[in-house]
Structure formats: C-alpha cells, structure tokens
Amino acid sequence: MNITIIGTSNVGLVTGACFSKMGNKVYCVDIIEEKIENLKNNILPIFEPQLDGIVEISQERGDLIFTTDIKEALDNTDIIFITVGTPMADDGSANLDYVFDAARDIANNITHDSLVVVKSTVPVGTCFEVKEEIESILNENDSDVKIRIASNPEFLKEGSAVNDCLHPDRIVIGAEEDEVFEIMRDLYSSFVLNHERFIFMDIKSSEMTKYVANAMLATKISFMNEISNICEATGANIQNVRIGIGSDKRIGYDFIYAGCGYGGSCLPKDVQALINTAKCNGYEPKIISNVEIVNEKQKMKLAEKIVKRFGDNLTGLTFAVWGLSFKPYTNDVREATSLVVIPELIKKGAKIKAYDSHAVQEFMNALDDIYLDSIEFADNRYDAVDGCDALILITEWKEFRSPDFDLLSEKLNQKIIFDGRNIYDRKIENKGFELYQIGC
C-alpha cells in the first residue's frame, strides 16, 4: 500500500518506518526542513532502539521517503495518517492546532479520493471535525475529491516503540464504514499474522479508548505512589506490598511500581485532556483529577528526602544524578522528574553532576538556562559520582541496575544513595551505604 504520514517524530517516524519495513511505500512528511534533511542522511531526531537500522534499509530500498513536500506525498498515496503532536494547552485541553493545520494541508493539496486516519491522540469528536474541515475546504476549492475518516490511536511505548509497533497487543480502529475497516485490516494484517488483534468500534469510542488507557496507567502509578507514602508513614514496605497484591490475578504485577513520579509526552497531558473533556461535557471528575495532583507531589519526593537528610541549605554539596530522560531507552525528557528535582536542589544551593547516555542535549534544551551553570555533565556513570556527596537515581536505565558498589564507595564522598525507582537491594547497606527509597 502507499501511505503518507504527516508528522515525523516519535509516532510518525516509528509508524512510517515499520509500515515501510513490511514492504509498503511510505512518505514521511514534516514541516521542519532540517529534520527531513537529516533523516535523508539517516540522522534520526529521536533515540529509539532498532529504529536506525529500519530507516536506513527502507530508504535504501526506496520504500521510505522523507519530504517536506506534502503534495508529492499525497499525489502518490491513498492512505494518509495524521501523527502530529497534540500538546497540552494552558487550560489543560489538547492543543489541536497542529492537527487542523495538517487537515488544511491535506485539503489544499489532495487530488484524489483518500482515507485520512487520525493517529494523534485527540479528544472525542475531533475526527469528525477534521473531516468537516477538509470537506469545507474541498468545497471552497470546487474539488470533487472524497475523503473518508478513521481513528487509529497509537499505543506504542517510547523506549520499545519499534517492537510495540511491529508486535502490537491490539490495533484499535474506529470508523463508520465496513470498507474502511477492511482497508485498515489489510494494512495491518502483516503485523498480526500470528493471531487476530483488531478491535473495531465507532470513532468516538476509539478516540476515548486512548485517553482511558493512559488515564488508567497513570492512575495505577499514582495509586501505588500514594500507598508508598502511607507505607513510609507506617513502617510498611511498598516492595512487599506490591508483591502481595500483584499475586492477585485481578490486580496483576504490571504497572504497580512506586517511584518518583511519571513523566513523558503522553500520560501527563492525556490525563489533563481527559479531565478537560469531562468538565467541558458537564462532568466533574474526582479520581483522575487527583491522579495528576499525586504525581506532581511525587516528583518532589526525592528532593524532600534529600532535604530531610542534609538540611534545607545544600550549599557546598554536590549530587550525582543518574538518568535524565523520563524513562529508560528514550532521549525524551518531556515532563521528566529530572526537570523538577535538579532545579529544586540547585535553588537550595547544590551543585549537580549528571549522567545520561542519550538525553543530555534534550535535557539542556528543556532546562531553564539559569540552572545550567550549576550542572556538570559526565561522560559515564562513574565519572558522575566522583567527589559527590550522594547519588540520586532518577531514571532506571539498565546500566544503573548492578553498578560496582566498591567503585562507588571509592568515588563518593559520602556513601549515600537516593534510589527514586527502588532498583537497589537493601543488602548494599551491609557495605556501609545509606539507602533511601520510595515507600520503604
């Protein structure tokens, strides 16, 4: 099949690359010229395991074309995916400017009947509005082109996006016509040869499904973080409690880890957008409104523990930070806990030595310049701890899981670890480490 992808980033680039890997011809369009030029030279704007190899091979084969020319793309394709960003607006709603810009770009350049698929995460009703916008411009332009619309929310996880895309748990399709379901089934059938994973439904339910999935995940995390705070207050251990409850099949072990808060480009904004949708439709949500509040407080947890240990004035102290991205295996720092903890410590007088294998540049771009003078970026995890008064683990990249604790003892001024993801065993206390964790 011939496919246009509008918006070439985490979702668009990965989806486009995976469609092309399956032998489809894919045009990936973006408005940022530098990004497209780099991609033509196999320089990727994001770090995502396995992605570079697929992009290089598919480009070589001629199945993956990067362009800023939407007309060239639309002329050669019949299925158009919208994968542009839907960031949070000031009032918490989803900012749909990019989605409607894409819709207008389609309307002004399309010359034959096509299927438009909205993959961006959008509030209920947006797909219909996108269709209306395109049709009204086509009418103004006296065009007889017909478009059909589908919703196909994306569930990939940054850090394992290629694997998730190639081996999806489910493919949710919202549409109004059987023919559209069939086109989408044909398109995705090569991804699900093993067994049927399609879930077909109406468009509004499909749009809502994406928000509810993210709200449920965020709720699980905030729930466990709240319980971890109760554990700390009472002397119980969240790690034991987690295993105790996860063994109940109705609860399960997934996504019930306590930690120092969730971040990323999706969970925070999608929870806010769902709250906004509920309010705009006359419903005052109780649970999800508090999910975000708990998460914001949880991001402060490490800083609070550090102040409790060292006092409110951190002048003269240097802290090593391991991990800056919002989760491992991505260079994405959007809403990352590092962006909350590090400024908080610097405001109290501390200096920081930070290490992350992939996210340093993104972190520097996202952080307010006033903090940068107080941060040194190390080339590796052990240089980062050299001469520091404590180690703070924020993101659980695998290289941090089993460090050489003897080397850490030598390098750290004080053998103190603040483990924001509960990855270390209390046994290290036998080696003289003071270990602070979440909820235990």
- Give how far the C-alpha of residue 53 lies from the chain's centroid of Cα atoms, to the nearest Å: 21
CA distance between the termini of the chain: 53
Sole window of 6-14, 232-240, 350-358, 392-400 interacting with ligand NAD (rule: CB under 6 A): 6-14
- List the beta strands (DSSP E) in 128-263: 147-151, 171-174, 198-201
Q: Is 325 in the site for ligand NAD (CB under 6 A)?
A: no
Closest distance to ligand NAD from the beta carbon of 95 (Å): 10
Q: Is 277 in the site for ligand NAD (CB under 6 A)?
A: no
Per-residue x/- track, 252-271, ligand NAD (CB under 6 A): -------------xx-----
Q: Is 31 in the site for ligand NAD (CB under 6 A)?
A: yes
> Of all helices (H) and strands (E), which one includes residue 354?
strand 351-355
Q: Is 156 in the site for ligand NAD (CB under 6 A)?
A: yes
Residue that the structure tokens 């806990």 belong to = 337
- Candidate residues 15, 18, 20, 30; the one interacting with ligand NAD per rule CB under 6 A: 30
Closest distance to ligand NAD from the beta carbon of 205 (Å): 17
Structure tokens, 73:
């793309």
Q: Which residues does the annotation mark as catalytic?
A: 266
CA–CA separation, 242 and 325 (whole Å): 25
151: which strand partners? 118, 174
**Residue 405 burial (CB count, 10 A):** 16
Sole window of 94-102, 166-174, 303-311, 347-355 interacting with ligand NAD (rule: CB under 6 A): 94-102
Closest distance to ligand NAD from the beta carbon of 358 (Å): 15
Structure tokens, 12:
């668009």
Residue number with CB closer to ligand NAD (326 or 397): 326
Q: Residues 6 or more apart from 158 whose CB is under 8 A from it?
A: 10, 48, 264, 265, 326, 327, 329, 330, 332
Residue number with CB closer to ligand NAD (12 or 261): 12
Q: How many CA atoms lie within 13 A of 349 on its CB side?
A: 10
Q: Is 85 in the site for ligand NAD (CB under 6 A)?
A: yes
- Candidate residues 15, 77, 114, 120; the one interacting with ligand NAD per rule CB under 6 A: 120
Sole window of 150-158, 274-282, 314-322, 383-391 interacting with ligand NAD (rule: CB under 6 A): 150-158
Structure tokens, 42:
């196999």
The residues of the shown chain that bind ligand NAD, judged by CB under 6 A, are 6-12, 29-32, 83-86, 98, 101-102, 105, 120-121, 154, 156, 158, 265-266
